[in-house]
Amino acid sequence: MPAMRAGTKRRGVLFLRILGLLLLVGAFWGSLVGFVFGERPLGAVLLALAAMINTAIVTSVIAGGEIFLPETRLGRALEAAPFLVTVAVKGFGYGAVIALVFGTRLGLHVVVAALLSPDAAATALRHTMPRAVAIAIAFSLSLNLMFVLQMSRLIGNRTLRDILLGRYHRSRAEDRFFLFVDIVGSTPLGERVGPDAVHRFLGEVFRLASDPIDDHRGEVYQYVGDEIVITWTVAEGRGGARPVASFFAIEGALARAAPEFERQFGTVPRLRAALHAGPVIAGEVGGSRRAIVYHGDVMNITSRIEQATRDLEHKFLVSSDALERLEGVDGYTLDDLGLQRLRGRTEAVRVYAVTAKPSPNGRQTI
């Protein structure tokens, strides 16, 4: 049996965490309803079980849809629609499930059918929370959950979390990795097939890069033309040399999709990349549109190193400052290129060309 993909495993863990948390909330809510309506202990337990069943069904539909649906053809088509259309379609679908589950008291029917007599079931039904209130609360919670999950895909899970928690409301100093990944050949492609095809080409590259970035705990800071800027705090990126591993994982994902790129666009994506690390100032900026930005020389140097990949004829360059902060680089070949004078800078930077070591079968491990 093939091993579960890292992306699928990560989504499964997220789904189970959400389901487990909301099951606890459902159990608490059912018990509280039983207490408010003066149920005996057995009645409160039955209401808690019913609430857990309802919660499991609704959560499986909503959280499952938001976590797993985007990876399907239907999900990608829905995500490609205007934001309001996506929200409206999902809201209608989720609302119908909620109305069915809570409007028919499905969980309670399941419990009483399994454990109680018809007379006891009728008594239990009379003491449930009014149906309209349950539906209204559940619908409101589901829309909020859907909106939060939808926004997390628009601006990124970590960015949304940091904005909601106010982590960068005041600027703070951080030590960070920055990985600049440039997609080679998009300009000639545009001259040959036009801007619409280039947009679809880059969109597919960025989509395929998403899982390798998430799997290695990276955060997409920006898409700049045909370039992805990815960042990690040093604490998040150090173990397993995650920024380096992320680059080769992206390259591997694109290599597996090469036949489809060739069929659609007549070319396959190739990458150049640079990794650097150092101190930055991070903080929220903006008024009507808030964003978390990073200020410091690190990104400028990373950009210059990425430009140097052309002159030095190596696709992936890593600064000594980044290597010093990484653990687990034994799986890669490091070619010391010495101190390099970068464009627009007076101070030289030591850089290394990094490649993946061949695996025992003779292939590079990417």
Q: Residues 210-248: pLDDT tens digits? A: 999 999 999 999 999 899 999 999 999 999 999 999 999
High-pLDDT (> 90) share of the chain, %: 36
Look at residue 268 and tell me whether its pLDDT is greater than 70.
yes
Question: Beta strand 316-319 with 227-233: parallel, antiparallel or unpaired?
Answer: unpaired
Asked if 341 and 311 count as a contact pair (C-beta separation under 8 A), the reply is no
Q: How confident is the model at residue 22 (pLDDT cuts 50, 70, 90)?
A: confident
pTM of the model: 0.72
CB 245 within 8 A of CB 290: no
Q: Is the pLDDT of residue 287 over 70?
A: no
d(CA 310, CA 325): 25
**Of 80 and 272, the one with more pLDDT:** 272
**Please, are residues 179 and 273 in contact by the beta-carbon 8 Å criterion?**
yes
Question: Does pLDDT of 342 surpass 80?
Answer: yes
Domain definitions of the chain by residue range: 6-155, 158-356
Per-position b or e across 37-55, b if 16+ CB within 10 A of its CB: eebeeebbbbbbbbbbbbb
Instruction: State pLDDT tens for residues 112-152.
Output: 666 655 555 555 545 544 554 565 566 656 666 766 776 66
User: Shortest CA distance to 317 belongs to which of 339, 295, 297, 296?
Assistant: 339
Report the topology of domain 158-356: Alpha-Beta Plaits (3.30.70)
What is the C-alpha R_g of the chain?
26
Q: Report pLDDT digits (tens) over 73-116.
A: 888 888 767 655 777 777 777 777 877 777 667 776 677 666 65
CB 160 within 8 A of CB 257: no
The region, left, alpha or beta by phi > 0 then psi within -120 to 50, assigned to residue 338 is left
Distances (CA, A) of 21 to 24, 28, 150: 5, 11, 19
Q: Are 56 and 110 in contact (CB under 8 A)?
A: no
User: For all residues of the chain together, what is the average pLDDT?
Assistant: 81
Half-sphere exposure of 81 (CA within 13 A, CB side): 14
Contact criterion met (CB below 8 Å) for 91 and 150: no
CA–CA distance, 147 with 156 (Å, rounded to integer): 13
Q: Given the structure tokens 């809201």, which residue do they identify? A: 91
- How far is 120 from 117, CA to CA, in rounded Å? 5
Strands (E) in the chain, as ranges, are: 172-184, 219-224, 227-233, 270-285, 291-295, 316-319, 332-340, 349-356
- 248-257 b/e (C-beta count within 10 Å ≥ 16 → b): bbbbbbbeeb
DSSP state letter for 364: B
